[in-house]
């Protein structure tokens, strides 16, 4: 299959040319095909959420296990009522505060949503993104677009159109490319089907922000720990996602001790003939010995750290780095999401120094 890779700018959406492209992308979805599209978090791999054959195609294109449910993307709040018959008050409050935006909520699904889309579950994850290209595309596609992140299963989520092309060229009909994603980590997922809201995946909408609206939220116990015998409630969180090909270690402790430990590892691994990489913050990156250095952004700007993380993991793959070391981050605010993704990429390999 030939994949059309089309560049489209948010500020030019009103032009005839852009309308034509969005129309074509929408038609592909209505005919059961697949289109990758930008969102404010990461790029999504879209198919018609109400078409079971399209859902199957998404799993096949990604090489994703079919028990891992997809998020249904909508372009207005009204659409939610068409796919669930129960919207709890907690959800209404969150919708008022955070939709459109990087928050996904879990609802009981109704019969409109095929089980192929929800990986066999009787609940459905729903998200109303705030990216204008995404919204125009979802509307043109009929209003319900199932979309996992547009990476091959097991690779870091794509934050640029080029990342999508790298993974899915030849497997999908079209890529809508509007440049670098603003947030860079996947949406926060909250389960509202039980008595107490539970965060299944941390993201840009933080625990603190959710608590302010809801009064009380809990974290799925697997977010920052590997707990023997406890399965994460979001099926996708159990896979070793976001994993670079080499071995990543998170080094945690006082600044000086972290630098010393990483430098010692760089020397040792280089002696063994391996390629080594370091993920460091702007403030500290110059302190590391010569190897593949990646400046992830300032420690004072965690949004930048979040935005840069996946691209760096991909670069390490391209540069065939064998061993990678990264500084650690505080787990409050968006740091919780950063650490959750880093821990997964590292297979929970953490050294305390
Ligand atoms: O930011 C995002 O959410 C991106 C963009 C494209 O919108 N999408 C995304 O989708 O990250 P994906 O498929 O890569 O991750 C969806 C996660 C998986 O861990 C999946 O198991 C979980 O959501 N999930 C989906 N439906 C669920 C459900 N009904 N119950 C529990 N977890 C669910
Ligand atoms: Mg994903």
Listed in sequence order, the residues at least 6 apart from 229 whose beta carbon sits closer than 8 Å to its beta carbon are none
Helix (H), strand (E) at residue 44: strand 44-48
Give CA–CA dist 84/87, Å, rounded.
Answer: 7
Residues with Cβ within 6 A of ligand 1? 39, 41-42, 44, 68-71, 104, 106, 118, 121, 123-125, 127, 147-149, 186-187, 189, 200, 233-237
In eight-state DSSP terms, residue 232 is P
Give CA–CA dist 41/184, Å, rounded.
Answer: 5
- Average pLDDT, stretch 222-241? 73
Q: What angle do CA 78, 178, 182 make, to 5 degrees?
A: 75
Closest Cα to atom 19 of ligand 1: 236
Q: Helices (DSSP H) in 215-285: which residue ranges?
A: 255-271
Dihedral sign, Cα of residue 221, residue 222, residue 223, residue 224: positive
Ligand 1 atom closest to the Cα of residue 127 is 7
pLDDT band at 137 (very low <50, low <70, confident <90, very high): very high
* Helix (H), strand (E), coil (C) string for 71-85: EEECCCHHHHHHHCC
Whether residue 67 has pLDDT greater than 80 = yes
Percent of the chain with pLDDT strictly greater than 70: 98
What's residue 282's pLDDT?
97
> Cβ distance 196 to 220 under 8 Å?
no
Q: Helices (DSSP H) in the chain: which residue ranges?
A: 16-30, 52-62, 80-83, 89-98, 132-140, 161-168, 207-214, 255-271, 302-318, 335-345
What are the residues facing 124 on neighbouring strands?
107
In eight-state DSSP terms, residue 258 is H
Which listed ligand is nearest to 203 at the C-alpha?
1
Helix (H), strand (E) at residue 191: strand 188-191
What are the pLDDT digits (tens) for 183-205? 999 999 999 999 999 999 999 99
What's residue 231's pLDDT?
77
What are the pLDDT digits (tens) for 43-65? 999 999 999 999 999 999 999 88
Whether residue 103 has pLDDT greater than 90 = yes
Closest Cα to atom 6 of ligand 1: 44
pLDDT band at 223 (very low <50, low <70, confident <90, very high): confident
CA of 236 to the centre of ligand 1 (A): 7
pLDDT band at 241 (very low <50, low <70, confident <90, very high): low
CA of 270 to the centre of ligand 2 (A): 33
What's residue 240's pLDDT?
61
- Average pLDDT, stretch 303-324? 97
- C-alpha of 60 from chain center: 19
In eight-state DSSP terms, residue 149 is B
- Average pLDDT, stretch 348-352? 94
Whether residue 340 has pLDDT greater than 70 = yes
What's residue 227's pLDDT?
63
Closest Cα to atom 7 of ligand 1: 44
How buried is residue 142: exposed, middle or buried, by Cβ count under 10 Å (0-12/13-18/19+)? middle
pLDDT band at 236 (very low <50, low <70, confident <90, very high): confident
């Amino acid at each position: 299959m030939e994949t059309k890779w089309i560049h489209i700018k948010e500020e030019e959406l009103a032009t005839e040319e852009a309308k034509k492209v969005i129309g074509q992308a929408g038609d592909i979805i209505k005919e059961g095909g697949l289109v990758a599209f930008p969102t404010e978090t990461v790029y999504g791999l879209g198919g018609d959420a109400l078409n079971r054959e399209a859902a199957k195609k998404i799993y096949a294109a990604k090489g994703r296990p079919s028990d891992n449910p997809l998020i249904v993307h909508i372009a207005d709040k009204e659409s939610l009522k068409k796919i669930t018959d129960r919207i709890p008050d907690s959800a209404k409050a969150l919708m008022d505060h955070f939709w459109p935006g990087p928050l996904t909520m879990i609802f009981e699904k109704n019969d409109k949503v095929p089980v192929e889309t929800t990986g066999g579950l009787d609940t459905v994850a729903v998200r109303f993104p705030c990216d204008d290209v995404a919204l125009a595309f979802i509307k043109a596609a009929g209003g319900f677009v199932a979309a996992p992140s547009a990476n091959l299963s097991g690779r870091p989520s794509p934050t640029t159109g080029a990342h999508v092309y790298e993974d899915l060229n030849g497997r999908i009909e079209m890529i809508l490319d509007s440049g670098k994603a603003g947030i860079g980590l996947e949406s926060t997922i909250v389960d509202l089907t039980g008595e107490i809201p539970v965060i299944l995946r941390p993201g840009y909408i933080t625990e603190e922000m959710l608590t302010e609206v809801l009064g009380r939220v809990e974290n799925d116990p697997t977010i920052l720990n590997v707990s023997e015998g406890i399965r994460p409630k979001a099926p996708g969180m159990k896979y070793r996602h976001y994993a670079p090909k080499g071995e990543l270690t998170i080094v945690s402790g006082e600044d000086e001790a972290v630098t010393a430990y990483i430098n010692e590892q760089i020397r040792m691994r280089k002696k063994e003939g391996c390629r080594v990489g370091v993920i460091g913050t702007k403030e500290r990156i110059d302190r590391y010995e010569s190897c593949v250095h990646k400046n992830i952004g300032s420690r004072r700007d965690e949004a930048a750290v979040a935005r840069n993380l996946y691209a760096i993991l991909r670069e390490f793959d391209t540069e065939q780095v064998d061993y990678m070391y990264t500084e650690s981050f505080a787990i409050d605010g968006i740091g919780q999401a950063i650490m959750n993704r880093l821990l997964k990429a590292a297979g929970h390999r953490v050294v305390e120094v």
